[in-house]
C-alpha cells in the first residue's frame, strides 16, 4: 500500500509540472523519493515517470520551434542559404539584392516553423514504445542519451513527415519561388558556377537538425543540477549500485 501511495504521489508530482523543464520534473520526483526509505519505486514506475518527463520536454522543444520566430529568431537553429549558395548570397547582396535574400531566409524559416508542428506525435510515439531497458539506459547514460534514443527511433519518421509539410510550407511562404528566382538570377551571371534551385531536401534536413538541437538543450536541463540527482533515484530504486 505504501508503494502505491508513493507511486501516486510521484505521478501526481510529474503531472502537475507540465510547464516545467526536465530538470524541475526530475527534481520533484527526487524530492518525493527523498522522503521515503529505500523500498521506494519499481522500475516500471520510474519508467513511466521518465516517459512523462520526456514528453513534457518534447512538447517544450516542439512548441518553441513551431512558434513565430522559433527558427528565425534563434541564431543556433536559424535556416540560412544552403552552403553551396552562400557565395551566391554574397554576390547578390553586393549587387543590391539583399532585400530578396532576407525575404528568402524569412520564408525558409517560416516553413521550418510550420513543419515543426508535426513533431510532437512522432516523438510521443517513440517515447510510448520505449522499453524499461531504454528508460534505464537514458537515466544512467551520457548527457545526450535521450536525444540519441530519439534520433535512432524518430529521425526517419520526422524526415518523412517534415518533407511534404516543408515543401508545402516553403511553397506557401514563398521560399521556393524566391530561391528559384535567386538561383536563376545568379545563374545568368556570366562565368559563375550554376546552382540547383531545388530547396526541399536541404530545408527538411536543416529543420529536423534544428529540432533535435532543441531536444538536446531540454535534455541538458535534466542533467545540469547535477547528474547525481538521477543516481540518487537509481540508488533508491535498486539499492546501492
At 183 the pLDDT is 80
Across 10-19, 137-146, 187-196, 216-225, the highest mean pLDDT is recorded for 137-146
Residues 6+ apart with CB under 8 A from 53: 14, 22, 25, 26, 29, 222
The percent of residues above 70 in pLDDT, for the chain, comes to: 73
How far the first Cα of the chain sits from its last, in Å, is 26
Number of domains in the chain: 1
State the cell numbers at 61. Answer: 522543444
How much is the average pLDDT of 183-199? 77
Domain range for residue 215? 2-238
Q: Are 23 and 9 in contact (CB under 8 A)?
A: no
At 74 the pLDDT is 97
What SS3 class is residue 99? helix
Q: Are 82 and 202 in contact (CB under 8 A)?
A: yes
* Per-residue pLDDT at 201 exceeds 90: no
Q: Are 119 and 158 in contact (CB under 8 A)?
A: yes
* Per-residue pLDDT at 241 exceeds 80: no
Q: pLDDT (tens digit, 9 = 90+) per residue, 137-178?
A: 887 788 899 899 999 999 999 999 999 988 888 888 788 888
At 66 the pLDDT is 95
* Per-residue pLDDT at 119 exceeds 80: yes
Q: pLDDT (tens digit, 9 = 90+) per residue, 41-69?
A: 677 777 777 787 788 788 889 999 999 99
At 163 the pLDDT is 92
How much is the average pLDDT of 181-188? 81
Q: How far apart are CA 173 and CA 107, in angstroms?
A: 5
Phi-psi bin for 56: left (phi > 0), alpha (psi -120 to 50), beta?
Answer: alpha
At 226 the pLDDT is 40
105 vs 186, higher pLDDT:
105
Give the total residue count for the chain.
241
Its pTM stands at 0.72
Amino acid at each position: 500500500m505504501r508503494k502505491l501511495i508513493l507511486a501516486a504521489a510521484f505521478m501526481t508530482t510529474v503531472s502537475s509540472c507540465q510547464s516545467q523543464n526536465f530538470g524541475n520534473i526530475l527534481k520533484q520526483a527526487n524530492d518525493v523519493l527523498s522522503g521515503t526509505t529505500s523500498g521506494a519505486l519499481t522500475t516500471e514506475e520510474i519508467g513511466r515517470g521518465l516517459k512523462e518527463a520526456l514528453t513534457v520536454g518534447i512538447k517544450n522543444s516542439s512548441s518553441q520551434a513551431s512558434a513565430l520566430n522559433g527558427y528565425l529568431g534563434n541564431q543556433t537553429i536559424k535556416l540560412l542559404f544552403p552552403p553551396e549558395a552562400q557565395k551566391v548570397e554574397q554576390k547578390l547582396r553586393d549587387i543590391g539584392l539583399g532585400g530578396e535574400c532576407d525575404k528568402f531566409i524569412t520564408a525558409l524559416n517560416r516553413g521550418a516553423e510550420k513543419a515543426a508542428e508535426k513533431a510532437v506525435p512522432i516523438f510521443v510515439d517513440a517515447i510510448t514504445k520505449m522499453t524499461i531497458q531504454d528508460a534505464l539506459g537514458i537515466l544512467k547514460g551520457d548527457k545526450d542519451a535521450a536525444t540519441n534514443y530519439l534520433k535512432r527511433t524518430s529521425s526517419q519518421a520526422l524526415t518523412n513527415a517534415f518533407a511534404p509539410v516543408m515543401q508545402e510550407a516553403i511553397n506557401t511562404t514563398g521560399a521556393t519561388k524566391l530561391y528559384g528566382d535567386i538561383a536563376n538570377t545568379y545563374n545568368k551571371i556570366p562565368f559563375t558556377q550554376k546552382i540547383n534551385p531545388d530547396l526541399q531536401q536541404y530545408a527538411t534536413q536543416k529543420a529536423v537538425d534544428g529540432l533535435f538541437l532543441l531536444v538536446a538543450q531540454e535534455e541538458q536541463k535534466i542533467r545540469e543540477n547535477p547528474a547525481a540527482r538521477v543516481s540518487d533515484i537509481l540508488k533508491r530504486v535498486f539499492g546501492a549500485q
